[in-house]
Amino acid sequence: MSIKEIFTTMEYGSAPESTVASQQWLAQRQHTFEHYIDGQWQPSESKQYFESKNPANMQLLAKVADGSSADVDQAVKAANKAQKQWQSIGGHERAKYLYALARQIQKHSRLFSVLESLDNGKPIRESRDIDIPLVARHFYYHAGWAQLMDSEFPGFQPLGVVGQIIPWNFPLLMLAWKVAPALAMGNTVILKPAEFTSATAVLFAQICAEIDLPKGVFNLILGDGKAGQAIVEHADIAKIAFTGSTDVGRLIRKATAGSGKKLSLELGGKSAFVVFEDADLDSVVEGIIDAIWFNQGQVCCAGSRLLMQESIAEKLTAKITARMNKLVVGDSMEKGIDMGAVVDQSQLDTIKRMVALGVEEGATLHQSTCILPADGCFYPPTLLTNVEPASTVAQQEIFGPVLVAMTFRTPAEAVEVANNSRYGLAASVWSENINLALDVAPKIKAGAVWINCTNMFDASAGFGGYRESGFGREGGKEGLYEYIQESWLANLSTKTPAGKKPQAKTAATTSGTIDRTAKLYIGGKQVRPDNGYSLPVYDFAGQHIAELPDGSRKDIRNAVEAANKARGWTGSTAHNRAQVLYFIGENLSARSEEFAKRIVQLSGKSPADARAEIDLAVNRIFSSAAWADKYDGQIHSPPQRIVTLAMKEAVGNLAIVAPEEGGFLAMISTIMPAIAMGNRVIFVPSAQSALLATDFYQVLNTSDLPSGVINIITGNRDALTDTLAKHYDIDGFWYWGSAAGSKLVEFESAASMKRTWVNNGKYFDWQSTQQGEGELFLRKAVEIKNIWVPYGA
Ligand code: NDP
């Protein structure tokens, strides 16, 4: 092409990245990837391999060891052996290793970038400028947390051996998000990359060897879903961290139910990209490119649902289609391309199928006129307009370069449509009116909200979902709690603190005085149970003293409905909530004699002990009131001109099933922090304190607590637990009870991805300040949303 022609057409020339170093590296490894276990490279026990190809040209990159449960078992043994020493060398020593990893990643950054793009198909520009620098940043950032662990997390300890399973869309970045915090906090790791993309994980293992990371601290198991499953099911793994599809996440939730394994799930998304009429539309168009055509749209938090204010919809659609036609799709090694290859033929087929379905359901198809390479897995940038919010393409993740567009009229409608999704990973809000943007952002149910920007990530800010996008955070201080636990929590016993299990009441005669008829407490009213049944209540001596409603599924449904109507509590100020809690404390204190008598009657405690329990309960209420306006958010400082507001938001509707042994004190200790953080509670008291719970209504009724914030359902705990766990509109579940009950709660919660906190049949000491109140309860009562606000004129 002559210079004149170049000036006339302004076409980009070819600017390919060299693959020489990567090819040499692959040749050194004889185009064969093996497991890295206990500091050694090893073939699979089965000696089986599968092929990994470059999706841009389908050329073979390497044969990959196909991991089995025997390989996983060997890796877990090595990780277990290494863990105590890795923990005991202390934060500073671990920091030095993490720092060395960060330096080594930077020194080999181009090799990492090229390998990543060859393996995944993503543009070299993205792996070079985004993925790999962020990987190094994660190791530097977490080297810092290793250094600070002892001073910042006193009383905490690592979990032990951690199993980590990652997808193919950001192979090395997902590794860094998981490995860096786990190692920093003193855990050892078994990591399984996705079968399509093992290359950079192998290079990372090589670097671990080069920096002399102690053997067994990082172990790499290659393979497909079978290897992942073997990790999930291994008895000696203390925690599973998973990123991938919601379907597999749900399987993992069920497989780990009742095992005591800690779990974090970063799953799919269908994130809203909300554009108001006053937005800078040219910036919006560039934002859309980053939101949906970055990494070929294979991004869990891709802004795949475009919500346009009706008045600008036509103009914006025209701008998007014009810009879309200018995008260049090509080989991942070309520096001038905007989009590379989709990861695999199977993924390409899924995208084609979903788009065809969208058109069938009535959407209008706009596709870039760009020329696609003849070979390889390529798909053009695509926009679907006239999409109904309920249609398949608006609800299901496509995981490809396909944007679906809808319109809205008012900000309230924008929020409603944005939240019309089972997912809740991220959202972008575009408006030049910062007041509007900051009003809308907290109302969108998503773990990250980007204002006038999109797809921003940093090690300092936690990332993770609401709803079926999973739970747990990666990054920031909030993400570290996924890899540590309070030492007392790790050492809980299956025996009560007093050394005996709570006594079951013996059935007694129904003679004696029935002093009153207690009812359920739903929506601020005392109501009779729907089924019209009651259960007898006995005092400590086995004397029949009252009847309690036998609450059922219908009552739970009513309670959830009442809790939904009490959303105003969640939106109220922390100061207001604190005032109500203080008032509850004051009113309980005023009736302490009456409550103490009831405790004596039900538990057989001495009057002095009963008084002490009430005093401690009032004290706990005051603690929760005190925390209500102090357990507040944080501002993270990523290395851009952005402030990231880490806001603590209530989980929502929270089911609490109280411990059988903790009496009135446990009831107060669990409900109060939950409502202090803005949750609405559906509470099932223990049989022993159920009557006290019904006495407690009187206190609530006189304390200005809005109706529906606390709902109390008495009855058969196991049946009520089952109903609560299966209820779709309950967001979180705290359960203290048997190991079998804990398992049921975790298993059944998988359907709607509730945030669960269960005791696995172990006992808390509710008298202890350490175990009965404080930050642990508050942390479980909130989710962190990070709102990214760029600044600068
Ligand atoms: P998967 O959820 O199937 O895979 C994620 C990881 O889990 C991979 O390492 C996979 O192994 C492993 N895995 C698969 N089955 C099991 C199992 N039963 N137990 C334990 N681990 C298992 O996602 P895919 O890669 O198959 O992608 C499918 C869809 O998932 C995409 O179309 C997209 O919608 C979504 N997805 C979401 C991502 C996100 O970041 N939220 C990332 C990637 C995909 P292997 O793949 O090696 O067989």
Ligand 1 closest atom vs CA 247? 2
DSSP string, 532-560: --EEEEE-TTS-EEEEEE---HHHHHHHH
DSSP state, residue 503: P
Mean pLDDT for the chain?
Answer: 95
Mean pLDDT of 402-406: 98
Closest residue CA from atom 42 of ligand 1: 244
Q: Which of 120, 172, 232, 248 for mutating ligand 1's site (highest number of atoms within 8 Å of CB)?
A: 248
**Look-up of token digits 């790790």:** 490
Strand, coil or helix: 631: coil
User: Does the pLDDT of residue 416 top 50, yes or no?
Assistant: yes
Closest residue CA from atom 15 of ligand 1: 225
User: Does the pLDDT of residue 573 top 70, yes or no?
Assistant: yes
574-590 and 592-603 helices, crossing angle to 10°: 70
Ligand 1 closest atom vs CA 223? 47
**Which residues have CB under 6 Å of ligand 1?**
165-169, 192, 194-195, 224-225, 228-229, 232, 243-245, 248, 251-252, 266-268, 300, 350, 397, 399
Give me ligand 1 centre to Cα 545, in Å.
Answer: 56
Give me ligand 1 centre to Cα 7, in Å.
Answer: 46
Closest residue CA from atom 19 of ligand 1: 229
**Look-up of token digits 């009252």:** 546
Mean pLDDT of 373-399: 96
Ligand 1 closest atom vs CA 398? 34
Closest residue CA from atom 4 of ligand 1: 244
225-233 and 69-88 helices, crossing angle to 10°: 50
Ligand 1 closest atom vs CA 268? 41
Q: Highest-confidence range of 273-277, 499-503, 538-542, 603-607, by mean pLDDT?
A: 273-277
Give me ligand 1 centre to Cα 419, in Å.
Answer: 25
Give me ligand 1 centre to Cα 436, in Å.
Answer: 37
Give me ligand 1 centre to Cα 645, in Å.
Answer: 30
pLDDT of amino acid 199: 98
Which of 34, 266, 482, 486 does the annotation list as catalytic? Answer: 266
User: Does the pLDDT of residue 12 top 90, yes or no?
Assistant: no
> Please, which pLDDT band fits residue 7 given cuts at 50, 70 and 90?
confident
Sorted by sequence, the CB contacts under 8 Å of residue 290 that are 6+ apart come out as 454, 455
User: Does the pLDDT of residue 508 top 80, yes or no?
Assistant: no
Tell me, yes or no, if 266 is annotated catalytic: yes
Sorted by sequence, the CB contacts under 8 Å of residue 148 that are 6+ apart come out as 91
Give me ligand 1 centre to Cα 244, in Å.
Answer: 4
pLDDT of amino acid 3: 83
pLDDT of amino acid 334: 95
Ligand 1 closest atom vs CA 232? 20
User: Does the pLDDT of residue 120 top 70, yes or no?
Assistant: yes
Q: Which of 245, 247, 393, 423 for mutating ligand 1's site (highest number of atoms within 8 Å of CB)?
A: 245
Strand 520-522 with 525-527, pairing:
antiparallel
Strand, coil or helix: 345: helix
pLDDT of amino acid 1: 67
> Please, which pLDDT band fits residue 173 given cuts at 50, 70 and 90?
very high
Give me ligand 1 centre to Cα 167, in Å.
Answer: 5
Give me ligand 1 centre to Cα 248, in Å.
Answer: 7
Distance CA 114, CA 30 (A): 18
Ligand 1 closest atom vs CA 195? 47
For residue range 427-453, what is the model confidence (pLDDT) as tens digits?
A: 999 999 999 999 999 999 999 999 999
Strand 448-451 with 680-684, pairing:
unpaired
For residue range 297-338, what is the model confidence (pLDDT) as tens digits?
A: 999 999 999 999 999 999 999 999 999 999 999 999 999 999
N-terminal to C-terminal alpha carbon distance within the chain? 41
Instruction: State both tokens at 713.
Output: 């359902």
DSSP state, residue 372: P
Tell me which residue of 230, 243, 76 sits closest to 171, measured CA to CA: 243
Strand 161-165 with 40-42, pairing:
unpaired
User: Does the pLDDT of residue 744 top 60, yes or no?
Assistant: yes
Give me ligand 1 centre to Cα 253, in Å.
Answer: 14
Amino acid at the residue 241: A
Give me ligand 1 centre to Cα 626, in Å.
Answer: 43
Ligand 1 closest atom vs CA 425? 41
User: Does the pLDDT of residue 506 top 90, yes or no?
Assistant: no
Given a contact cutoff of 8 angstroms between Cβ atoms, the answer to whether 110 and 151 are in contact is: no
**CA-CA-CA-CA dihedral for 202, 206, 211, 215, to nearest 10:** 80
DSSP state, residue 763: B
**Look-up of token digits 């040219």:** 282
User: Does the pLDDT of residue 171 top 90, yes or no?
Assistant: yes
Closest residue CA from atom 38 of ligand 1: 244
Distance CA 787, CA 445 (A): 12
Mean pLDDT of 188-211: 98
Tell me which residue of 291, 286, 357, 346 sits closest to 316, measured CA to CA: 286
Give me ligand 1 centre to Cα 117, in Å.
Answer: 19
User: Does the pLDDT of residue 490 top 50, yes or no?
Assistant: yes
User: Does the pLDDT of residue 501 top 50, yes or no?
Assistant: no
Give me ligand 1 centre to Cα 195, in Å.
Answer: 9
H-helix or E-strand containing 193? none
Give me ligand 1 centre to Cα 296, in Å.
Answer: 17
Closest residue CA from atom 48 of ligand 1: 224
Tell me, yes or no, if 51 is annotated catalytic: no
Give me ligand 1 centre to Cα 252, in Å.
Answer: 11
Which of 34, 116, 300, 370 does the annotation list as catalytic? Answer: 300
User: Does the pLDDT of residue 512 top 50, yes or no?
Assistant: no
pLDDT of amino acid 503: 47
Distance CA 775, CA 329 (A): 50
> Please, which pLDDT band fits residue 8 given cuts at 50, 70 and 90?
confident
User: Does the pLDDT of residue 502 top 60, yes or no?
Assistant: no
Closest residue CA from atom 35 of ligand 1: 245
Closest residue CA from atom 44 of ligand 1: 244
Closest residue CA from atom 12 of ligand 1: 225
pLDDT of amino acid 10: 77
Residue 389: how many CB atoms within 10 A of its CB?
A: 17
Judge if pTM exceeds 0.75: yes
Query: Cα–Cα distances in Å, from 347 out to 86, 120, 329, 379, 682?
Result: 40, 12, 17, 10, 42
The 10 Å CB-count burial string (b at 16+, else e) for 298-337 is bbbbbbbbbbbbeebbeebbebbbebbeebebbbbbbeeb
Q: Which of 165, 266, 304 for mutating ligand 1's site (highest number of atoms within 8 Å of CB)?
A: 165
Ligand 1 closest atom vs CA 249? 2
Residues paired with 260 in a beta bridge: none
Closest residue CA from atom 27 of ligand 1: 245
pLDDT of amino acid 499: 46
- 120: region left, alpha or beta (phi > 0 left; psi from -120 to 50 alpha): alpha
Closest residue CA from atom 28 of ligand 1: 245
Closest residue CA from atom 26 of ligand 1: 245
Closest residue CA from atom 30 of ligand 1: 245
Give me ligand 1 centre to Cα 216, in Å.
Answer: 25
User: Does the pLDDT of residue 479 top 90, yes or no?
Assistant: yes
